[in-house]
Amino acid sequence: FRSYKPINSVRFLPFHTIFAMQFADNFQYSSRSVMYNNDRNGYDRISKRPRTAYNQLSSYSPQRVPTKTDVAPRFQPFEKNFYTPAENAPDDVAVDTYRNNHEITVTGTNIPVPNVRFEDNNFPDYVMQVLHKQGLSTPTSIQSQAWPIAMSGRDLVGIAQTGSGKTLAYIVPATVHVQHQNKLEKGDGPIVLILAPTRELAQQIERVASDFKALTGIRHTCLFGGAAKMPQIRDLERGCEIVIATPGRLNDFLDNNVTNLSRVTYLVLDEADRMLDMGFEPQIRKIIDRIRPDRQVLMWSATWPKAVQELARAFLVDFIQINVGSLNLSANTKIRQIIEVCEEHEKESKLTELLRSFVTGKTLVFVETKKKVDELTRAVRRCGFGAISMHGNKTQYERDYVLNEFRSGRSMILIATDVAARGLDVDDVRCVINFDYPNSCEDYVHRIGRTGRGPQQDGVSYAFFTPANQKQAKSLIAILQETNQVVNPKLQELAYSRFEKTSGPKWSRNNDYKSQKSAQSNGYGYKNGPMRPSTGYNYRQQTTNESSYSQNQVQGHQPQFGHFYNTQPPPPPHVQPPLTLSSKPQQYYNPAAFMNYYAYYGPQQ
C-alpha cells in the first residue's frame, strides 16, 4: 500500500477489521483517477482535454455519487455588450409612432430604441458588406427592434410572423459576438449554438450563416439526424464557432463526448413552439443545463402558448419580449388567402383545375399523410404536371435532391407534408395550396408563410375546407378578419351551423348482424350511450313512454338529408300531441323519425 498508518482510535478492534478499513481507504484514494478516467489535474486521459462537471457525471462509477467539489467549473469572463447607440437617436414620440405603424409591442426594462436604418446599428464593415450584397435596403420590423437588444447582450423573446427576417435578426449579432470572443483551442466546443426543430430549417440557417464565412472566417457546421455522423464529427473536431443543430443529434453527440458546451455564450432557440409541439422539451432542457448560466439566450416563436412562456421564464433572465402583429397568431398580411368550401371527394378535381387555370410559378401543396402525398403526386403527374414529393420517409439524400429541384425551378410543384411547413425558405414561391386543412391554425399560418417571403414579395394561398374541418372554422375566420381578407359566406355558414356532419349512428364493435340487433334492442350502440339526451330515459324506456305518439304526425316532419344545410329541423318526437281515443293502439314510437331527429341535432341538445 502507498501509505499505511495505524488507526489508534480503533486499536481494540480485531486486526483483520483494521486491515480492511485501511485497505478500503487506500483503494478509494488510489483508484479515484481511474474511476473518473481523469488525471489529477482534471483532464481526460484519452483526449487530453479539460472535462466539464456534467461530462464527468456520465463517466463516474455508480459506486460513488459525485459532489460539486469534485470538479469546480471555472468559466472565463466574456463580453456580450457591443451596442453603441446612434448619434441622432429619435425621441420618444418618433419611437412610439414607428412602433405603432409597424405593430411592434415591446415589454421589459431598459429597452433600446429601434434602428430604422442599417447604419444606426454601427455594425462592422463585414456585416454591412454582406447586407448590401444581399440587396437589403432597410431592416424589417423585427430586425429594427431585435438588433439593438441582441447587440446589448440582453435575453430576448421574439414573436413574429413567418417570413419576417427572424433568421438574419439573430445571425448578425451572433457573428459580432463570435468576433469579440477568444479563439477556440483544441477540444473546445462552439461559441454560438442554434437549435432548430427540423433538418430543413437547420440547413436553411446554415446557408444564411455561410454568407459571413468568407469575410469573417467563422466556421460553422450543421448537426441533424438522417445523415452520416462522421462528417459532422470531423467538423466538430476541427473546431466550429457556430453550431446549428437539432436537439436529437446534438444530445447524441454530447452523450458520447464528441463535443461539449463549455464555451457556449450565445444560445438561440428558433421555432420554439414547434420544438415543444414535437416533444423536444426534455432534450432542450438537458442541453441548456450543460451551458454556463450567464449565457445570452434568444428565443424565437410564431406563437406564444403557455409551454413557451414557461420555458422562457425558466431559462431567460430579465428578457425583453418583442411582438410584431397579433400576440396569439400572426399571419402575413401580404398573402392573399382564398378558402374553398367543398366535399372531400371534390378536392382532387378542384386541385387539377386550380393548377391548370390559376396557378403560375412555384407551387407548394400540403397534404396530411405520407401515403396521400405519394398518391396525390402520381395523380398530378398523370394530369401532365411535373410534381415532386417530400415527406418524413424520404432519405436525407432524396430530400436534398427534391429541395434542389424545387429551388432551381426544374420542378415547379412540390407536394409535401408538414415537414416543409416551418423554416423552409424557397425563393419565388407564388402559391401555397392546403389540399388537407391542418389540425390547428398555427400550422395553417406556418404553411401559408412559405409564400410572400421578403420585403417586396406577395403571395397567394388556397385552402380546401371540408365539413370535417368544422371545428377549425371560427379560428380560421378570425385569422382572415385580422389580415383583412374576404371571408367565404359558406365558411361562415359552416362555422355557425348548429350541428356537425357525422357519419350516422354507430353500432356495436362487432359487425355481425346478431350483435348489432342485440345492441340496438338494449339501447347501446348509438352515439352518446344508452341514455337519450335531454330526457333522462334510455332508449328502451323512451319507446314505452312514446307509445301514444302518432306515426303519421312524426313521419310528416322527416328532414331531407340530401342537402347539408337543412333549415327545417324535425320536431322531437316527445313533444308531439297525444293520440285520441279513436287511434289504433299499435301506432307506437317511430324509430326512423327518432333517428332523423337525433342525427340532426347531435348529442349536445
Q: In 3-state terms, what secondary structure has residue 558?
A: coil
For residue range 270-327, list pLDDT tens digits in order.
989 889 888 899 999 999 999 999 999 999 987 788 888 999 999 999 999 999 876 6
Range of the domain at 469: 335-496
> Given a cut of 70, is residue 394 above it in pLDDT?
yes
> Residue 341 corresponds to which cell in the numbers above?
368550401
Based on the domain organization, do 270 and 377 belong to the same domain?
no
> Given a cut of 70, is residue 41 above it in pLDDT?
no
Q: Does residue 254 lie within any of the structural domains? A: yes
Based on the domain organization, do 281 and 401 belong to the same domain?
no
Based on the domain organization, do 186 and 271 belong to the same domain?
yes
pLDDT at 68: 38
Percent of residues, the chain, with pLDDT higher than 70: 67
Based on the domain organization, do 237 and 373 belong to the same domain?
no
Q: Which of 478, 496, 514 is the last residue of a domain?
A: 496
Average pLDDT of 179-189? 91
pLDDT at 464: 96
Based on the domain organization, do 159 and 231 belong to the same domain?
yes
Average pLDDT of 129-139? 88
Residue 82: closest CA among 147, 171, 131: 147
pLDDT at 534: 43
Band of pLDDT at residue 135, cut at 50, 70 and 90: confident
The CATH number for 296's domain is 3.40.50.300
Sign of CA dihedral 454, 198, 396, 399: negative
Break the chain down into helix, strand, coil percent, rounded to 5.
40, 15, 45
pLDDT at 521: 45
> Given a cut of 70, is residue 227 above it in pLDDT?
yes
Band of pLDDT at residue 179, cut at 50, 70 and 90: very high
Taking each helix axis from N to C end, the angle separating 473-482 and 441-448, rounded to the nearest 10 degrees, works out to 40
DSSP one-letter string for 401-447: HHHHHHHHTS--EEEE-GGGSSS---TTEEEEEESS--SSHHHHHHH
Residues, the chain, total? 605
- For the ranges 45-49, 261-265, 481-485, which has the lowest average pLDDT? 45-49
Average pLDDT of 128-152? 91
Band of pLDDT at residue 147, cut at 50, 70 and 90: very high
Residue 389: closest CA among 408, 362, 417: 417
pLDDT at 87: 80
| Helix (H) or strand (E) run with residue 137 in it | none
> Given a cut of 90, is residue 176 above it in pLDDT?
yes
Q: Does residue 236 lie within any of the structural domains? A: yes
> Which of 104-113, 423-432, 443-452 holds the top average pLDDT?
104-113
- For the ranges 68-72, 153-157, 255-259, which has the lowest average pLDDT? 68-72
Q: How far apart are CA 282 and CA 295, in angstroms?
A: 19
pLDDT at 16: 59
All residues at 6 or more sequence positions from 83 whose CB lies less than 8 Å from its CB, including other chains: 112, 121, 122, 148, 151, 152, 153
Q: How far apart are CA 523 and CA 569, in angstroms?
A: 24
Band of pLDDT at residue 357, cut at 50, 70 and 90: confident
pLDDT at 427: 73
pLDDT at 128: 92
Q: Tell me the H-state helices in 45-124.
A: 53-59, 92-101
The residue with cell 368550401 is: 341
Buried b (16+ CB within 10 A) or exposed e, 390-429: bbeebeeeebeebbeebbeeebbbbbbbbbbbbbbbbeeb
Band of pLDDT at residue 164, cut at 50, 70 and 90: confident
- Contact (Cβ atoms closer than 8 angstroms) between residue 172 and residue 123: yes
Percent of residues, the chain, with pLDDT higher than 90: 41
pLDDT at 556: 42
> Given a cut of 80, is residue 517 above it in pLDDT?
no
What's CA 564's distance to the chain center, in Å? 35
What's CA 374's distance to the chain center, in Å? 24
> Given a cut of 70, is residue 21 above it in pLDDT?
no
- Contact (Cβ atoms closer than 8 angstroms) between residue 98 and residue 106: no
**More confident call, 162 vs 67:** 162
Q: Does residue 180 lie within any of the structural domains? A: yes
Which amino acid, residue 31? S
For residue range 544-600, list pLDDT tens digits in order.
444 433 343 444 444 343 333 334 454 555 544 454 444 444 444 444 544 554 455
Q: Does residue 488 lie within any of the structural domains? A: yes
**More confident call, 444 vs 537:** 444
Q: Does residue 515 lie within any of the structural domains? A: no
> Given a cut of 80, is residue 447 above it in pLDDT?
yes
Based on the domain organization, do 266 and 381 belong to the same domain?
no
Residue 378's CB is within 10 A of a number of other CB atoms, namely: 12
> Given a cut of 50, is residue 168 above it in pLDDT?
yes
pLDDT at 441: 83
The residue with cell 489535474 is: 41
Q: How far apart are CA 420 and CA 486, in angstroms?
A: 27
> Residue 22 corresponds to which cell in the numbers above?
485501511
> Given a cut of 70, is residue 66 above it in pLDDT?
no
Based on the domain organization, do 319 and 346 belong to the same domain?
no
- Contact (Cβ atoms closer than 8 angstroms) between residue 364 and residue 433: yes
Band of pLDDT at residue 12, cut at 50, 70 and 90: low
Based on the domain organization, do 358 and 306 belong to the same domain?
no
**More confident call, 489 vs 28:** 489
Q: Does residue 539 lie within any of the structural domains? A: no
For residue range 311-352, list pLDDT tens digits in order.
999 999 999 999 987 665 557 788 899 999 999 999 999 999
Q: How far apart are CA 209 and CA 206, in angstroms?
A: 5
434, burial (CB in 10 Å: exposed 0-12, middle 13-18, buried 19+): buried
Based on the domain organization, do 281 and 135 belong to the same domain?
yes
Average pLDDT of 448-468? 84
Residue 197: closest CA among 205, 189, 187: 205
598, burial (CB in 10 Å: exposed 0-12, middle 13-18, buried 19+): buried
Based on the domain organization, do 344 and 418 belong to the same domain?
yes
Based on the domain organization, do 294 and 342 belong to the same domain?
no
User: Could you tell me how many helices (H) and strands (E) the chain has, helices first?
Assistant: 24, 14
Pairing of strands 335-341, 266-269: unpaired
| Residues paired with residue 335 on neighbouring β-strands, in sequence order | 459
> Given a cut of 70, is residue 65 above it in pLDDT?
no
> Given a cut of 90, is residue 454 above it in pLDDT?
no
Q: Which of 266, 301, 324 is the last residue of a domain?
A: 324
Q: How far apart are CA 525 and CA 538, in angstroms?
A: 12
Average pLDDT of the chain, as a whole number: 76
- Contact (Cβ atoms closer than 8 angstroms) between residue 188 and residue 262: yes
Band of pLDDT at residue 85, cut at 50, 70 and 90: confident
pLDDT at 512: 43
Residue 401: φ, ψ to 5°: -65, -45
Based on the domain organization, do 174 and 252 belong to the same domain?
yes
DSSP designation for 338:
E
> Residue 125 corresponds to which cell in the numbers above?
464593415
Q: Which of 475, 496, 517 is the last residue of a domain?
A: 496
Band of pLDDT at residue 421, cut at 50, 70 and 90: low
Q: Does residue 247 lie within any of the structural domains? A: yes
Q: Does residue 601 lie within any of the structural domains? A: no
Number of structural domains found in the chain: 2
